[in-house]
Amino acid sequence: MAANNVPVGLDKEQIFGMAEKEMEYRVELFNKLTHTCFNKCVEKKYKESELNMGENSCIDRCVSKYWQVTNLVGQLLGAGRPPM
């Protein structure tokens, strides 16, 4: 690896392609997280213009758990271990 953490032998086009894929992955992950936690925590019929305390707490827990699981899966895949 080179000093800036880019593998030796990659040209700029490959690096930009990898960066683009990473950005697409992050956007997809954010959209899935938003969709999942919103559907789980927010009532379908809006009663108020703001989230209530219960909805806020639910979203906080949901996002936290979603990131924990995402990180765990990433670590398992990175280590090459099969899922539990």
Predicted model pTM: 0.67
Stretch 54-58: mean pLDDT: 95
Residues found in the chain:
84
Q: Please say if the pLDDT value at position 32 is more than 90.
A: yes
- Classify domain 3-77 by CATH architecture: Orthogonal Bundle (1.10)
Rounded Cα–Cα distance for residues 60 and 65 (Å): 9
The residue with greater pLDDT, 67 or 80, is 67
